[in-house]
Structure 1
Amino acid sequence: MRRRIKEGFHGRQVSIGVRRDLSEPFTAPSARVPLAVRPFRTADLPALFPLTDAEIGAQEREDIAWRLEMVERGAFSSRCFVAVDERSDTPCHIQWLTEAGYSEVIRRAGALPTLGREEAMLENAYTPSAYRGLGIMPAVTALLAERAAVLGARHVVALIDEGNVPSLKGARRAGFWPYMVRVREQYCYGLIRSARFMPMQAAKPSD
């Protein structure tokens, strides 16, 4: 009930859909710390979301917990990856690679785009505040896109809030370009929800 009241009578969220064509050659950017990417382990959570980190809100923790639960239930065709700082083996970034075929119920609830047979989606990228500003997100995003290519994907997509300028810049560094806009709206404290996906003119100069 408190969460619905917080949403208010009307809310609107605009996200930018970005996409990378994996058939085009691309040199992945490097982070300013040595990184290794591996599958997520439950023991990584305290380092990724320390209770003492004031920049992590309750909503962020809830979203991550929900995402992990849905993956465990098999509602997503998804793989969760973590980047670790090789100097100390400390987890410093988390991100999901989701393939076509996830639950239609989950797609609608999360207002996610329908993925084609040769598409994959990167979701819920998060870097703890202690590791921000080191170029980790674009480096890991580019590496996970390469993993998607190995799995047979031709394109990788992601959705980024229009106000999240650092992530939009990071996606550009990872080889992603805007291709659509998603507008989510809710009315009556979340009782009525809608989502629209609208194509936009490609920003890539070669298009």
Structure 2
Amino acid sequence: MDVQGLGATVARYARAARYTVESGTYKDTAKRLGQRVSSSHHAYGLKRDLTLPHETPVAKIPIAVRPLTDADVPRILDEHAEVDEAERWERHTRVRLLERGIGSPYVAVDPDDDPCYVQWLFGPRENDEVREFFHGIFPELGADEALLEGAFTPTRHQGKRIMSAGMSMIAEKAADLGARHVLTFVGVENIASLKGCERAGFLPAIDRWETRRLGRLRVEFRPMDADEVERARVLKPSSS
């Protein structure tokens, strides 16, 4: 690592430490530090083909999708809001992504224009920035591919099926980047998010294994065959 890169790393950890003290997110910080030392994580890469017919899911409240604005940030990503420790940490990680200035963040808003869901869209021109920020946990995007990442729904808006509807509409913005296929990644244990992704038109396509030993990260990607895709699905056609 060069001097500039080392300086950026030190600054990142210093900020994380400062935020931990200010916000009281000690439990989440300790959990993540432990995972950096030794952990294994299995996730599915789900893919949607934008050329295939898809009916946008209907949320329990009317929503629309638009780019995130500066005015939206304190309304959906306030790092010091009176929410539980886990949600404060989730907000903090999205603020870090926002400050890095990569990707295109979109929000789903309710009829009062209150942001209730946020997610970032990345195109292949940002492969280097995505690899650096996310430490290589996503595959290189092809010319006709895009990536959705950073999904977040505040607790007060959860349970309204906003994720699947908002994600479906944000994915379609990838066509403006020249993309046909949109990827997103979800841990295999996160059944609620897997269901939301399938409702948004995404199906399992890739197995991803992340392994950390003594802080060293190894990431493996493997395409799934048709039988594996069907076994990995959490929604069957009759229940979607």
* TM-score interval, normalised by the smaller of the two chains: 0.7 to 0.9
Task: Tell me the distance in 1 between the aligned counterparts of 2:83 and 2:199.
Answer: 27
1:93 aligned residue (99, 102, 117):
117
Displacement after TM superposition at 1:60 (Å)? 1.8
Instruction: Write 1 or 2 for the structure with the bigger share of helix.
Output: 2
> Which runs of 5 or more structure 2 residues have no equivalent in the other structure?
1-12, 18-28, 231-235
Between 1:92-101 and 1:143-152, the stretch displaced more is 143-152
Between Structure 1 and Structure 2, whose CA radius of gyration is higher? 2
CA contact (8 A) 1:55 1:129 kept: no
Deviations 1:65-93, CA, capped at 9 Å, x for gaps = 2211222xxxx3x211011111x221100
Matched, 1:10 2:38: yes
Matched, 1:66 2:96: yes
Displacement after TM superposition at 1:102 (Å)? 1.3
Please name the residue that 2:109 is paired with: 84
Query: Normalising by the residue count of structure 2, what TM-score does the alignment of the two structures yield?
Result: 0.75
Instruction: Write 1 or 2 for the structure with the bigger share of strand.
Output: 1
Please name the residue that 2:205 is paired with: 179
Please name the residue that 1:128 is paired with: 154
The percent of aligned pairs where both chains have the same amino acid is 37
Displacement after TM superposition at 1:103 (Å)? 4.4
Matched, 1:200 2:230: no
Displacement after TM superposition at 1:8 (Å)? 6.0
Structure with the larger RCO, 1 or 2 (CA within 8 Å, 6+ apart): 1
Deviations 1:104-147, CA, capped at 9 Å, x for gaps = 26415141111000001111111111111111111011111221
Deviations 1:13-43, CA, capped at 9 Å, x for gaps = 1111000111111111111111121111232
Deviations 1:162-200, CA, capped at 9 Å, x for gaps = 111111000110111000111111121x2x111111111
Query: Normalising by the residue count of structure 1, what TM-score does the alignment of the two structures yield?
Result: 0.86
Q: Aligned with 2:39: secondary structure?
A: strand
Alignment length, in residue pairs?
198
Residue identity opposite 1:143 in structure 2: M
Task: Tell me the distance in 2 between the aligned counterparts of 1:159 and 1:63.
Answer: 16
